[in-house]
Amino acid sequence: MTFKYLSNSPVINFVEVFKTNVDSEKLALKIIRSLTKRFPHYKVNFDLDDCDNILRIESKSRVNLSEIINLLEE
């Protein structure tokens, strides 16, 4: 198997993963909407099939953890 790197500059993505108690798709979608409204450049998703109900946030810049936590605690 061979791989060829096609980009001229390396792509660096920052990823933060949170263990949550979110257990419904309805609540997950509400949180995703809130986060993407406040941080439109973040890629946000939940893995509710994971035993830890993972919230994953990806960005090309550092993820603002304090603002994320504040928003989630509202």
Domains within the chain, CATH numbers bracketed = 14-73 (3.30.70)
In this structure, the dihedral spanned by the alpha carbons of residues 64, 40, 28 and 69, taken in order and rounded to 10 degrees, is: 20
Dump the DSSP string for 3-40. -----SS----EEEEE------HHHHHHHHHHHHHH-T
Going from the C-alpha of 68 to that of each of 1, 2, 21, 30, 39, the distances in angstroms are 40, 39, 16, 14, 9
Q: What is the pTM of this model?
A: 0.80
CA gap 54, 23 in Å, rounded: 10
Higher pLDDT, 40 or 9: 40
pLDDT digits (tens, 9 = 90+) for 18-72: 999 999 999 999 999 999 999 999 999 999 999 999 999 999 999 999 999 888 8
